[in-house]
């Protein structure tokens, strides 16, 4: 009976904490996209205790001007939000979106424990905003004008 009670309490704590990207340590989450050349440069802690890591911006292909970057926000060394930012240059839409889908799929499996839903693929392809449940969290897609007014940006956030 005592084991059952301890197991039940453990299950409750695990379920209530699972909203934090599968409870992965921040430093581990910062390195989940190494194989896509989106490795972070280390964890930086702010005065308020929030931590971030960012990858270097990389071109989606050797001949393309569109770029992709990756970042993680965390608190108490637990990852809470992972972001892929795609800057799309005119004429590179299809190739850039394919690259975002590929990186997003890997990030979803590795942080949320689930494949990226097809509706997220459709949202990226069409450029329409969305918020979709996936695994232990949510995936949000947004599209905005690029700060330099050349092309646009798509941001994929997993929380």
Whether residue 80 contacts residue 104, with contact meaning beta carbons closer than 8 Å, is answered with no
The helices-and-strands tally (H runs, E runs) of the chain is 4, 8
Q: What value does the mean pLDDT of the chain take?
A: 84
- Beta-carbon contacts of 83 under 8 Å, excluding residues fewer than 6 positions away, are 70, 71, 72, 73, 155, 156, 157, 158
**Domain boundaries defined on the chain:** 2-158
Radius of gyration of the chain (CA): 17
What average pLDDT does this structure show over 62-89?
92
DSSP conformation class of 155:
E
pLDDT of 11 above 80:
no
Identify the pLDDT of residue 5: 38
* Residue 46: CB atoms within 10 Å: 8
Q: How far is it, in rounded angstroms, from Cα 108 to Cα 49?
A: 26
- Could you tell me the pTM of the whole model? 0.82
Which range, of 6-20, 53-67, 112-126, 133-147, averages the lowest pLDDT?
A: 6-20
What average pLDDT does this structure show over 133-144?
94
Whether residue 150 contacts residue 141, with contact meaning beta carbons closer than 8 Å, is answered with no
pLDDT-based confidence at 114, cuts 50/70/90? very high
Summarize pLDDT for 99-111 with one digit per residue, the tens: 999 999 999 999 9
Enclosing H/E stretch for 100: helix 93-112
């Amino acid at each position: 009976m005592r084991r059952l009670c301890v197991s039940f309490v453990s299950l409750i704590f695990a379920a209530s904490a699972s909203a934090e990207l599968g409870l992965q340590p921040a430093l581990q989450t910062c390195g989940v996209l190494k194989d896509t050349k989106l490795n972070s440069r280390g964890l930086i802690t702010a005065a308020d205790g929030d931590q971030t890591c960012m990858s270097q911006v990389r071109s989606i292909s050797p001949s393309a001007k569109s770029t992709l970057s990756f970042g993680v926000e965390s608190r108490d060394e637990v990852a809470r939000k992972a972001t892929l930012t795609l800057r799309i240059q005119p004429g590179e839409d299809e190739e850039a979106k394919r690259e975002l889908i590929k990186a997003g799929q890997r990030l979803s499996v590795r942080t949320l424990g689930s494949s990226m839903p097809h509706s997220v693929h459709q949202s990226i392809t069409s450029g329409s905003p969305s918020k979709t449940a996936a695994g232990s969290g949510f995936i949000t897609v947004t599209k905005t004008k690029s700060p330099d007014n050349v092309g646009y940006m798509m941001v994929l956030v997993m929380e």
